[in-house]
C-alpha cells in the first residue's frame, strides 16, 4: 500500500470564485478551507487529550488520528457534472504541540512511518 501524502486542503482561487458565483445573492470570498475540516475541541475533549494550558492562537499541533468512513457518495447529472465525497468520523485523536515534537518521540516515529521522513511538500525547494 502506498504511503499517504499530506496535501493542502486550502481552497484555490478558482474554487472560491465558483462558490461565490453559486451564491451571487450573498457575495463573499468565503473561508480558506472547506466547512467540516475544522475540529472543535471542547472542555471534555481537551481534558481527554491532556491539554490543561490553552495554546496561543497560531500555535501548531501535530495530530494523529483514526477516522471511520461513515458515508460514500457519487452522483452525476445530465449536464455531465460529477460529484464524489467521503465522510469521515474521527474516532480517535492524539495531538502534540509543535515545540513538543521531536525525532525520538513515538508520535514522530509514527508520523515518519505514515508520511515519510524529510519529504518536501509539492512546490518546496
With contact defined as beta carbons under 8 Å apart, do 111 and 67 qualify? no
Return the DSSP state at 118: S
Distance between CA atoms of residues 109 and 111, nearest Å: 5
Measured torsion, CA atoms of residues 104, 110, 113, 115, in degrees rounded to the nearest 10: -110
Longest dimension (CA), the chain: 55
Q: What's the CA gap between 118 and 3, in Å, rounded?
A: 14
Three-state secondary-structure class, residue 32: coil
The residue extents of the domains of the chain are: 53-115
* Average pLDDT score over residue span 26-48: 77
By percentage, how much of the chain surpasses pLDDT 90? 6
**CA geometry: angle 108, 109, 112, nearest 5 deg:** 85
Mean model confidence pLDDT for the chain: 75
pTM value surpassing 0.95 = no
- Helix then strand then coil, % of the chain, to nearest 5: 25, 25, 50
Average pLDDT over residues 13-18: 88
Q: What is the pLDDT of residue 78?
A: 92
Percent of the chain topping pLDDT 70: 70
Q: What is the pLDDT of residues 38-88, one digit of tens each?
A: 788 888 888 888 888 888 888 887 888 888 888 888 899 999 988 887 777
> Higher pLDDT residue, 41 or 105?
41
For the chain, how far is it from start to end, CA to CA, in angstroms?
27
Amino acid at each position: 500500500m502506498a504511503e499517504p501524502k499530506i496535501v493542502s486542503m486550502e481552497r484555490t482561487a478558482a474554487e472560491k470564485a465558483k462558490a461565490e458565483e453559486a451564491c451571487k445573492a450573498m457575495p463573499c470570498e468565503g473561508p480558506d478551507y472547506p466547512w467540516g475540516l475544522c475540529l472543535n475541541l471542547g472542555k471534555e475533549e481537551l481534558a481527554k487529550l491532556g491539554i490543561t494550558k490553552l495554546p496561543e492562537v497560531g500555535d501548531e499541533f501535530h495530530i494523529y488520528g483514526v477516522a471511520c468512513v461513515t458515508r460514500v457518495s457519487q452522483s452525476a447529472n445530465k449536464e455531465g457534472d460529477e460529484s464524489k465525497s467521503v465522510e469521515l468520523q474521527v474516532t480517535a485523536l492524539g495531538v502534540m504541540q509543535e515545540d513538543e515534537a521531536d525525532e525520538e518521540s513515538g508520535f514522530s516515529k509514527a508520523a515518519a512511518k505514515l508520511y515519510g521522513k524529510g519529504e518536501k511538500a509539492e512546490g518546496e525547494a
